[in-house]
Chain A
């Protein structure tokens, strides 16, 4: 029963990691940019949800209705300005700029909101859970986040394969020059991809704020987990990221079961093992590495 619980809790947390990682994957897949400020963006979304929704009289649970569109817009604008400017230089510069952004955002949040923990207030829902068997408690919030993650991944998959804009995004991701020759405005397409990525980051940030306390420095560790989920699942595979997230979650729960201090360490060890034994990840193609 303990083992079943470890797997269930791991899978629930894994859904969150996949939601967090999906924007990271999209940005890398389309723009070839690793956004090192990804985690901090999510934290900003959390702060916006906490401090904006009371002003607009929106309950915390529904704050995403405002925050997600704002972040989509922020993503588009940031892409068309700072990120595009650094892409025009070289991939090296995108890393330096996004890392700089990450440090600046983190310290700005520290200055404005102090290091105190915050949560997105969702009332009594936080403590409610489904209790199917003796020691197994399935928190409604975690279950909801897992469902949102699956839904976001599914919608994204459908969007990329079925709609015209989705096909354009894939075309630009595959071969930018050829897509440009066919008349695609790749900067605009990049902007749309970044807008979607930032919208999912906002969702992830709010979800995080509902599940647990967050502080200005919470972004880094979540970027780390999201990245581990991507690599374990296989770079370039959306559903692989979900499986990678779940594998990471289960490994962490297993580590925590042995000793609470080993939670993160167990996840890191799984990541390093995958890197050593199967560097292309569980579902990845070898070509995605080079």
Chain B
């Protein structure tokens, strides 16, 4: 593969690179941010850390939704099924006496396991019918969980296992748990998309028929992504259950989650890693500044998402990237045309 090695590249050949900016800058910036966010509960006021926690939960969800829609072309409006199931799995283990923080990975695995049979049902439908069917699945999960008296039925239940910690300890630990989960989710999504599977996904997104004929197994790539997204949303549900200890079916299985993750990824930019994070920042800024005006922030945000979908389908980050050719977390490749030689 001498073509890809810069040293033996003949003059006038195009070169292929991950990014136009040096990865050193990105990793330097990410490192500083990671350190800052890890010590955040000790240096920032408690109000900030609780907002940051909700922000991280939204980032996890939006990143997972972006993986589904932006990379695998599946629109789901039923991811709240796995948020709810993750929260309830955590509650169930806590009721059995296990430390809620320890159960986060367990709940994640359970959600992934539940997603496997679900894909065999849902993948019989495509496009819009797939989207509504995901909603039926989440509605079914809500009704089944709501009928289990041990888990508090329809009225909900208080998360046990957190009461023997002091309020400050609970706040710090749940902040750290949320932050670690968010970091793992975003990092592994980044690595996943740089892997072979990421290439397969990009080829499906660009041209499904061509990808099939080139030997890409579209169905199993989609299935794997759906399961990963379910696991990620399950982890989000688990940290949600820890951060707001009263768990109610109607709130953890709420369609509002689907709306938030969809709008956030749309506005930030589908099909980019940075998009959902930037979308979440905008969402929180809007929500905090319009707090006293009821649900107007959702109306404005929804209208903004429609406008973006119609006129700027690559989202705000996509528009920025197209203009400046720069990426913070590159997963694709740039083709650099050689400078014209006479």
B221 within 8 A of A: no
In the complex, residue of chain A having the shortest beta-carbon distance to the beta carbon of B118? A272
Residue of A nearest to B306 (CB): A100
Contact A92 B126 (CB under 8 A): no
A100–B302 contact, CB under 8 A?
Answer: yes
Q: How far is the CB of B200 from chain A (nearest CB, A)?
A: 19
Interface string of B129-161 (1 = CB under 8 A from A): 101110111011001101100000010000000
Contact A95 B147, beta carbon cutoff 8 Å: no
Within 8 A of B (CB), among A49-98: 82, 85-86, 89, 91-97
- Check B136–A86 contact: CB distance below 8 A: no
* CB neighbours of B171 from chain A (8 A): none
Residues of B contacting A99 with CB < 8 Å? 77, 131, 259, 262
A38 nearest CB neighbor, chain B only: B132
Q: Is A166 an interface residue (CB 8 A)?
A: no
10 more contacts with CB within 8 A, not counting A85-B310, A95-B127, are: A36-B77, A36-B128, A92-B69, A100-B305, A104-B298, A227-B129, A265-B147, A272-B137, A275-B133, A276-B121
Using a CB–CB cutoff of 8 Å, the interface residues on chain A facing chain B are 28, 33-34, 36, 82, 85-86, 89, 91-97, 99-101, 103-104, 107-108, 110-111, 220-221, 223-224, 227-228, 231, 235, 261-262, 264-265, 268-269, 271-272, 275-276, 279, 289-290
Chain B residues in 8 Å Cβ range of A261: 143, 146-147, 154
Q: How many residues of B are counted as interface, with CB atoms below 8 angstroms from the partner's CB atoms? A: 41
Interface of B is mostly: helix
- Interface membership of B185, Cβ < 8 A: no
Closest 7 pairs between A and B when the two form their complex, measured CB to CB: A34-B128, A279-B124, A104-B302, A100-B306, A265-B143, A268-B140, A107-B295
Could you show 15 A-B contacts with beta carbons less than 8 Å apart?
A34-B129, A34-B131, A82-B310, A96-B305, A97-B310, A100-B303, A100-B305, A223-B132, A224-B136, A261-B147, A262-B143, A265-B140, A265-B143, A268-B140, A289-B124
A93–B310 touching, CB < 8 Å: yes
Q: A95-B75, A96-B305, A111-B294 are in contact. Are A272 and B136 (CB under 8 A)?
A: yes
B316 sits at the interface (CB 8 A): no
B266 an interface residue at 8 Å Cβ cutoff?
Answer: yes
